[in-house]
Amino acid sequence: MADGAPPDLRPPGAPRSRQAHLKDGLLLHAESAALYALDPGEAAALDALLGRDEAALARRLGALGLDLAPSPAAPDAAAPPPPRALALTVSQSCNMACGYCYASGGAFGGAARLMPEAVAIAAVDRLIADTAPGGAVQIAFMGGEPWLARDLIRATVAHARRRGGARAVKTGFAMTTNATLLRAEDAAFLAEQGFAVTVSLDGDRETNDRLRPMAGGAGSFDRVARRLAPLLAEAGRLTLSARVTVTPDNLDIPRTVAALADLGFASVGISPMLASPTGRGALAGDDFPRLLAAMTEAGEDWMAATLAGRPHAFANLATALGELHRGRPRSQSCGAVRDYLAVDAEGRYAACHRFVNDPLGQMGDLAAGPDPAARARFLAERQVEAQPDCAGCWARRLCGGGCHHEVLHAGRPGCDYVRGWLDYAIGAYGRLMAARPGWFGDG
Amino acid sequence: MTGTPDRKIRPLNLSARAAGPEMPAYPEPVLGNPAATLMDSGVGNCFPGLEFDLRQLDVRFFPGLVFSFPGVTPAGPDGTQGAQLVYADTTGDPVFAEDYPWVADLALALGGPAGDALSDGQWYLHAVEQKGRRIELYDISVWQNALLYTPYEGEIAWWIIRLIERDPDPALADLTIELTQRDAQGQPTGQPVTLRGKRRAYLDDEGMISGVYHPGELTASMCSPWTHDFRDCACQYWASNHPDVVLGEMDDPNDAGSLQAGQEPAPGDPLQPASFLDWMRRRTDPARDVQAQTTIDGARPFRYDPYEINLRWQELDFVLQGQEAKATPAGGTLPDRKPPETPQQVYDDLRLNLAPLEYILALRYLYATFSIRAPEEVTPQEERAWPGLAADLRAARQILLSVAISEMTHLRWVNQMLWSLSAALPGELPGYRPAVGPATDCVDPQHSLALERALPEVIAEFVALERPGGEIDREYEDLVTHLRGNPAYPAGLFQLAVRIDSDGLAHYHKFRDIARILAPYEAQSGLYLRTLTEAPPDAPGMPQALDLLDAAVADLREGYRAEAASAGSNAERSIAEARIIAARDRMHALWETGEALARDGLGIPFFARLPGRAHG
């Protein structure tokens, strides 16, 4: 600090310019999501301009062949194509009682009920009928706890296989489950049908039992571990991963990832809890720097293993690096509404599985099909280009504006965390690209 | 980014690598081939009905077999979807007339055990194999540790069949197909029948669709124009050939006689049967017989809505030769007409009646054209008071002139009919002599030689003259009737007569258009008419103009004579061309001259030099 400049107290990745971001000699061109390696002199020159003289920065970027011209216009949002994936909320009830659950105990704030078979069949028929032959659809069974609707799942899969087969449409299946009701024959069924199964678990035994009590209050970990054995035995025939919802009470992410990997999961994904219907369990304020530190620590574990050629279960960094490498500028944080809709037990479409029973995300019903006007409106209103909060952020095209459900119900409390995580991931991208470019699979 | 200066930056991720100007980055992937590259993007398949249903070609893709392609029923796949065998039969299939070993083998199989098997129960196409590639028409998945065969629906089966190639060597049988039966669950069962053959050629060597297809087969799967939505078939076009506009019905299609006799044929507008009506108009609408609107938006309120057609299609009229008809016209001839009965009468009619008529009409219409002011003569003050006047004048003159030119074309056709007749019946008829203008030996007394300005009543006279069922129409109707009843005449005669007759309908509408265009100026005819009077033939400029006309007529006569003789002589052919070009040049000069004189109020007395018309 010999020059008397104040120390930089901003969090890592704090927004300086809307045009670009610099990290360890890497340049992210914000609008195109393109990443470049810079020579040191150029990096220093850009760093000096970043956030201080936007006009000069624009000129300097222009000299490098990068301008702020908007990327090619996004496809006409007026007529979104038919969805390619559907979440069937087969069971709007749950045998667990997690305090933070977006479905409020599975029933989405309404009465507990199971989806009638006619609704599931009609939803599948419409999904497949709207898909061109040769295409593919994805059907996800969600809840509540989907295994409360065991017969419906089997009947729906059978119907989808036949209907899709007749139209030469590939059908893929997915499920998010707490695994507490899973039977051995269910695991065989999931394996036979090539399911992608995501098991919700929040940590090792102690943490999980504290955060994920059974509806009667007992712990769930041992029960899950017992139930998982047949599923893990089939791991080669299905895609199995664990989903950890992170709350202020289970921020030791490296330990959680390690514990679940020991249990047999090859992939563990972390979801920070930002918006909980009860208000309990959501991350806030001071929790975010701790979350970032924990994620970074888990990321470093993953990097060490990957650079050494060993597998590692921490999925978030692998996903982030894959997305950074593709570098597709996003207008939306996810495929909800555009590619993906949820259907509830009443046969109503929702923006995604989180929006079931939520007036903010109603997208028509099965009788008339997904409402194109509602979908177009939602996409237009929620796209990151329409978010004033995001206009100045360098990460806008990577993040896409955040989870629609969280933003609509809790705002954007975690942006510093998101930028911090992406800042870290860009650095990791540079390191992995230098050390093991083959990891990205395209030479 | 290959042009990045000094390599100060190096693209890393896929987005950066693709961002070069030569490789624009698209925010969305573009999947598959562009639609325009696909065969089934042809207009006929996008809008079934425009041509035929492409898929129907493939119901006979394999010689001797006929398939159908049922889809999935509304209740879901029931195991009957796919390529169903309708029947196996080699009779009438031209492939089996070909002399190749594979054809004989296939005929033997279909006439023997394979044919016997296929004649019993329901069979389905199970698999096709060509060039070592085999496709089963099933989605095969595992269900409860057993293989589940889900038959592809008809559309997918057709897609697969469509991919089968046809080897150009007709002797090469490179296609093997398997047929199976199915159990109640749609699972293939029993002993398959395997046949070796070749994909059928849909077109013969001339490019015609193979005769193996039965009439109606290629359109059998199309929606019915009577029960379906016309509008939604894009472009407002429905090519099951319904008319857009029709002529209204006359109470008695044969009642044209009373029209000619000056009687009102039916209550109401005597012109109504000659107005174009919208065929899809609401028959219950009080305004049902208004003229068809010229725009879709304008026509919509008067038409049945597409859904209504399902209920009301019986109300749509049959259309015969462009005219609505509730009944087949009764036979019989017009009471007071005498169609020619012999070739000599036809010849005389053409020579003494119709050829002079066309010549006279052309010049009467030309005179009327000269009487209308040129658009350049409109003063700024007039244009301010009458916006659009100049455009109306231009339109009226162009339309009128186009009819005059059309009559000249008819004159040429009449002459062509004459020389065809003379050539066809050399012993019976005199040799061809050109008939341009009234014959020197006979001034036709029955056609008016009045040269008049385009006053409203004159235009009305022209309208009446060209009206269907009117004077000119009936002149040709007689001729057409005779020619139709005597097919021994040269083939072109009938067509020429019909063409002239149907042109009359166009003339009729053009004159009605002119009347409509000029109607606003009716009270002040000076706005659109020149003060034109027919000048004496010796008035200044007139002898020159009449000389031009005479020269043009002489050129035409010699040109037609040469053309009639040109079948036997190249020299005559070049003479014909040269003289007709000369005639055209003289007519152009006559137009310039006539315009210059008309601006001074002088009308050319076109008929002054006709025999017996010496100007007094």
Residue that is last in its domain, among A313, A341, A369: A341
The answer to whether residue A365 sits within a structural domain is no
One domain for residues A60 and A163: no
> In chain A, how many domains are there?
2
Q: Are residues A102 and A26 in the same domain?
A: no
Q: What is the domain-level CATH number for residue A312?
A: 3.20.20.70
What band does B445 get if pLDDT is binned at 50, 70 and 90? low
pLDDT digits (tens, 9 = 90+) for A191-219: 999 999 999 988 888 888 887 877 777 77
pLDDT at B53 over 80: no
Chain B positions with Cβ closer than 8 Å to A: 1, 3-5, 7-16, 19, 24-28, 72, 76-77, 81, 138-139, 141-145, 148, 150-153, 155-156, 159
Average confidence (pLDDT) over A333-362: 93
Q: Same domain, yes or no, for A65 and A169?
A: no
Return the residue of A nearest to B21 by Cα.
A65
- Is A292 inside any structural domain? yes
Q: Is the separation of the CB atoms in A321 and A428 below 8 Å?
A: yes
Number of A–B residue contacts, CB under 8 Å: 128
**Final residue before a domain boundary, out of A341, A374, A395:** A341
- Split at pLDDT 50, 70, 90, the class of A69 is low
> Taking 70 as the threshold, does the pLDDT of residue B256 lie above it?
no
Residues of A in contact with B3 (CB under 8 A): 65
B25:A74 CB<8 A:
no
Minimal Cα distance from A192: which residue of B? B142
With beta carbons less than 8 A apart as the criterion, state whether B484 and B494 touch: yes
CB-nearest to B143 from A38, A39, A161 is A161
Per DSSP, helices labelled H in B253-388 are 256-260, 296-299, 306-312, 343-348, 355-370, 380-385
> Nearest CA to CA, how far is B301 from chain A (Å)?
28
Sign of CA dihedral A410, A415, A421, A425: positive
Give B373's pLDDT tier (boundaries 50, 70, 90): very high
The larger pLDDT score, comparing residue B331 to residue B412, is at B412
**Least confidently predicted of A82-91, A265-274, B184-193, B428-437:** B428-437
A21/A104 same-domain check: no
Residues B203 and B210 sit within 8 Å (Cβ to Cβ):
yes
- From A429's Cα to the closest Cα of chain B, the distance in A is 9
Do A63 and A143 have their domain in common? no
Is A31 in the same domain as A178? no
- If asked whether residues A190 and A48 sit together in one domain, one would say no
H or E element in which residue A272 lies: strand A268-272
Cα(first)–Cα(last) distance of chain B, in Å? 93
Lowest mean pLDDT among B151-160, B216-225, B311-320: B216-225
As given in the structure block, the two tokens for residue B120 are: 């019993």
- Assigned domain for A96 exists: yes
pLDDT at B42: 45
Taking Cα atoms as reference points, which of B319, B257, B274, B322 lies closest to residue B477?
Answer: B257
Span A390-410, pLDDT tens digits: 999 999 999 999 999 999 988
Tell whether A293 and A160 lie within a shared domain. yes
Is A437 domain-assigned? no
* Least reliable range by pLDDT among A93-107, A187-201, B397-411, B505-519: A93-107
B39: pLDDT confidence band, cut at 50, 70 and 90?
very low
Domain that holds residue A36: 17-72
Q: Mark whether A67 and A135 lie in a shared domain.
A: no
Which residue on chain B is closest to A434 by alpha carbon? B12
- pLDDT in the model for residue B172: 95
Task: Give the model's pLDDT for residue A76.
Answer: 53
User: Sorting pLDDT into bands at 50, 70 and 90, what band is B305?
Assistant: confident
Token pair, residue B234, equals 């894009």
Name the residue with higher pLDDT: A193 or A223: A193
Region B339-346 average pLDDT: 84
What is the model's pLDDT at position A4? 53
Indicate whether A389 belongs to any domain.
no
DSSP secondary structure string, A116-160? PHHHHHHHHHHHHHTS-TT-EEEEEEESS-GGGGHHHHHHHHHHH
Bridge-based pairing of strands B9-11 and A369-370 is unpaired
Of residues A75 and B398, more confidently modeled: B398
A219 & A269 share domain: yes
Is the predicted ipTM greater than 0.90, yes or no? no
Inter-residue contact A19 to A57 (CB < 8 Å): yes
A380 within some domain? no
The end-to-end CA distance of chain A, in Å, is 43
Residue A9 domain-assigned? Answer: no
Indicate whether A307 belongs to any domain: yes
pLDDT of residue A143: 82
pLDDT at B236 over 50: no
Residue of B23 and B489 predicted with greater confidence: B489
What rounded mean pLDDT belongs to chain B?
80
Contact B1 A65 (CB under 8 A): yes
Mean pLDDT of B42-64: 72
Q: What percent of chain A has pLDDT over 90?
A: 64
Q: How many whole angstroms separate alpha carbon A331 and alpha carbon A401?
A: 8
Structure tokens at B207: 């490019």
- B75-126 pLDDT per residue, tens: 888 889 999 999 998 988 999 999 999 999 999 999 999 999 999 999 999 9
Q: Is the same domain home to A45 and A127?
A: no
Q: Which of A277, A311, A341 marks a domain boundary? A: A341
Cβ atoms of residues B576 and B505 within 8 Å: no
